[in-house]
Amino acid sequence: MNLTDTHSHLYEPEFDADREEALARAAEAGVERLLLPAIDSGSHERLFGLCRRHPGRCVPMMGLHPTSVNGNPRWREELATVERLLQTPPEGIPPFCAVGEIGLDLYWSRDFRAEQTEAFRRQIDLALQYGLPVAVHTREAWPETLEIVREYRGRGLRGVFHAYSDTAATYRELRTLGDFVFGIGGVVTFKKSLLAETVREMELRDIVLETDCPYLTPVPHRGRRNESAYVRYVCDKVAEIKGLDPEEVAAATTANARRMFGRPQMPSGSPAREDAPSGHGKTPNDTRP
């Protein structure tokens, strides 16, 4: 089985005691590649260090998480760091596969909506400039997210809606606004999750799998730290919902991830490219996307 975890925070401190072991367990479960979204400059060195040690398996993104904007007087400096690193990536790491994770998170506070919106738009513009997909984090902000994405219709915006949690109707509209896939994680395994019904209506070609580890742990490990090996449980649940063999789901979702994140697509006329506290407001046992 060939699986891809399209959203893993394996570089976070929760894995300091057994990071290499967790990576080995992921390999044993068939997880051949991990995509690692950035949070903010406080965790960049951990992110880059993991990618340098495992350049064939751990692929970085670069972006500023929306909750790292909240109450941060230096958030525009953080945004400038994102732009600088996209322009001149650090040595020894694989090319950034996306601008992420970016978006809107109004769960903790709506007081910083304007700042988050400015950061989100700027990073979408950077993704378009560098021919990269976006990895979008949305929490308690689907109407606001849709409003912004509608502005970019027809401009080549592409990417993933990480930890997708809204309705089938929103999924269908987003498909008309750009080239998007939808990250399905541990929430789909929860007994009372409404996400299963949405997944039932999704096309398999629109789905990628993720863990968001160490957060959003799937059943049967819910309540403990999540890790990339557990994407296998997500694969099995998606297969059950859609009446498919898990091998088929693994192959299709990995192909979807490869298509979306495999290489930059530079805009015409662009030069060719070589191929606040961390944790973003969650705890390892958080069950909310």
State the Cα–Cα distance between residues 216 and 193, nearest whole angstrom. 12
3-state class (DSSP) for residue 280:
coil
**Is 273 inside a domain boundary?**
no
Global pTM reads 0.92
**Is 137 inside a domain boundary?**
yes
pLDDT of residue 131: 97
**Is 281 inside a domain boundary?**
no
pLDDT of residue 265: 59
State the Cα–Cα distance between residues 129 and 131, nearest whole angstrom. 6
- Any known ligand binding at 44? no
State the Cα–Cα distance between residues 195 and 9, nearest whole angstrom. 22
**Is 82 inside a domain boundary?**
yes
Burial bucket for residue 81 (CB in 10 Å: 0-12, 13-18, 19+): middle
Integer angstrom CA distances of residue 46 from 16, 42, 250: 10, 9, 28
Least confident of 70-74, 97-101, 280-284: 280-284
- Any known ligand binding at 140? no
3-state class (DSSP) for residue 267:
coil
User: How far is it between the farthest Cα atoms of the chain?
Assistant: 50
209 backbone dihedrals φ, ψ, rounded to 5°: -105, 150
Residue 275 has pLDDT above 50, yes or no: no
**Is 285 inside a domain boundary?**
no
CATH of the domain at 71: 3.20.20.140
Residues, the chain: 289
Number of folded domains in the chain? Answer: 1
Domain that holds residue 217: 3-261
3-state class (DSSP) for residue 30:
coil
pLDDT tens-place string over residues 44-68: 999 999 999 999 999 999 999 999 9
**Is 288 inside a domain boundary?**
no
- Any known ligand binding at 197? no
State the Cα–Cα distance between residues 218 and 259, nearest whole angstrom. 26
pLDDT of residue 280: 55
3-state class (DSSP) for residue 15:
helix
- Any known ligand binding at 5? no
**Is 268 inside a domain boundary?**
no
**Is 283 inside a domain boundary?**
no
Handedness of CA 211, 215, 219, 225 (dihedral sign): positive
pLDDT of residue 282: 57
- Any known ligand binding at 65? no
First to last CA, the chain: 26
